């Protein structure tokens, strides 16, 4: 019994020395570091319109809203272009779209059923004029009614990209009953992050 107690005592002491040595060695060769207070901010879908299409994206040249054009003398087979640029001011690539927005009270004679819009890519050389060879791919052609109800996809715009567009407004036929009539329409550009 005495030998067994002595053996247990020596064995316990030996284990204590081994565990202490391993613990000290482990503590000497381990460390940790922490990253504290990580902040995450969600990006936003932020687009702006250029006030002057011949200038750059300085803050003074960017707007949320522009005064729309005035078209007069509309008749059968009429066409007119509106040049504009949309700037992606967001922190990510955006999917752009456009739609008409109007109240029937601003178009009591329903010109919206006869006027078409057809957006095109505009490969502008920087002078703000639609020169020969600058008219690119069409995004589709719709009446203003369909533009409101279905919208038009205008593709992607990378962060910091200026997307130059030609909005071609046109008519095919226009009944005599529409002579002298007028309508007011807004068009809205929207974006969604990808």
Closest CA to 96 of 156, 136, 150: 156
Q: Which domain holds residue 171?
A: 50-193
pLDDT less than 70: residues of the chain: 1-5, 7-44
Count of the separate structural domains present in the chain: 1
In this prediction, residue 29 carries a pLDDT of 59
Q: CB within 8 A of 165, min separation 6: which ones?
A: 83, 84, 85, 86, 119, 120, 121, 122, 154
Q: Which CATH number does the domain housing residue 69 bear?
A: 2.60.120
The pTM (predicted TM-score) of the whole model is 0.77
Per the domain annotation, does 76 fall within a domain?
yes
pLDDT value of position 19: 66
Task: Kindly state whether residue 155 falls inside one of the protein's structural domains.
Answer: yes
Angle at 186 between CA 183 and CA 192, to 5 degrees: 155
124 domain-assigned: yes
């Amino acid at each position: 019994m005495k030998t067994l107690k002595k053996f247990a005592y020596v064995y316990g002491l030996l284990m204590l020395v081994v565990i202490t040595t391993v613990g000290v060695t482990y503590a000497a060769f381990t460390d940790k570091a922490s990253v504290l207070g990580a902040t995450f901010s969600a990006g936003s879908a932020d687009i702006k319109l250029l006030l002057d299409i011949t200038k750059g994206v300085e803050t003074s040249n960017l707007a949320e809203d522009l005064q729309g054009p005035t078209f007069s003398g509309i008749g059968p087979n009429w066409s007119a272009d509106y040049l504009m640029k949309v700037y992606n001011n967001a922190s990510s690539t955006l999917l752009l779209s456009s739609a008409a927005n109007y109240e029937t009270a601003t178009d009591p004679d329903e010109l919206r059923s006869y006027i078409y819009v057809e957006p095109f890519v505009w490969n502008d050389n920087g002078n703000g004029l639609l020169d020969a060879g600058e008219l690119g791919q069409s995004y589709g052609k719709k009446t203003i009614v369909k533009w409101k109800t279905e919208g038009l996809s205008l593709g992607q715009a990378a962060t910091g990209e200026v997307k130059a567009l030609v909005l071609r407004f046109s008519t095919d036929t226009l009944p005599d009953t529409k002579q002298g009539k007028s309508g007011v329409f807004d068009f809205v550009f929207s974006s969604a992050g990808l």
